[in-house]
Amino acid sequence: MGRWEPNARERLATAALDLYSERGYEQTTVAEIAGRAGLTERTFYRHYADKREVLFAGSAELQELFARAVAGAPQATAPLDALLVGLDAVSEAFTDRRDFARKRHAVILANPELRERELIKLASMAAAIAGALRERGVAEPAAGLAAEAGVAVFKIGFERWIAAAERRTLPHLLRDSLDELKAVATGG
């Protein structure tokens, strides 16, 4: 990670995603990823445990970011508004990442094993958010239900954001999806 490898982590992620898109995830080797990035395999393994990790490296931080923002919302904030604070916080992590997110999503959809892994990450995120809500004094089952709803809003708002012709921003689409959920819940 010396100065002769500037942005190695990012270059490797970009190279990996390009190769997964072009040849398929299964068919791509770590050696090829490193080669495409102009780096060595050894450098790859200094940054990522394996080729799957490239796709999920940000998941733990994202979960942490979401849960911490929910936990840190002002004390009197209702659960759903605390979720909104969390959704705004995760939005920021994706600034200028739409193309990357689109490619990543396509690679994951094409591979059942990666899709299962993505679902596990979302389930883990829901558990972390439920924990943050319980710490705010929200009782079960409300905490668990609100957390699942928050992750559903994130998932669907995110999928809208990376849709082909979509131009609206992620914060906008997450807020809009939360409003849609409210409308569904009150109209039933």
Footprint of a second copy (CB under 8 A): 78-81, 83-84, 112, 115-117, 119-120, 123, 141-142, 144-146, 148-149, 152-153, 155-157, 160, 177, 180-188
Closest Cα to residue 174, out of 59, 116, 92, 105? Answer: 92
Minimum distance from residue 63 beta carbon to a second copy (Å): 16
Query: Encoding tokens for residue 103?
Result: 């490619």
99 vs 180, beta carbon nearer a second copy: 180
Q: For residues 122 and 184, give the distance between their C-alpha atoms in angstroms, rounded to a whole number.
A: 22
Minimum distance from residue 80 beta carbon to a second copy (Å): 2
Minimum distance from residue 76 beta carbon to a second copy (Å): 12
Contact 13, 47 (CB under 8 A): no
Contact 185, 177 (CB under 8 A): no
34 vs 147, beta carbon nearer a second copy: 147
Minimum distance from residue 149 beta carbon to a second copy (Å): 6
Minimum distance from residue 145 beta carbon to a second copy (Å): 5
How far are the Cα atoms of 64, 150, 178 from residue 136, in angstroms, in the given order?
Answer: 16, 16, 20
Q: For residues 10 and 180, give the distance between their C-alpha atoms in angstroms, rounded to a whole number.
A: 35
The DSSP-derived string for 14-59 is HHHHHHHHHH-TTT--HHHHHHHHT--HHHHHHH-SSTTHHHHTTH
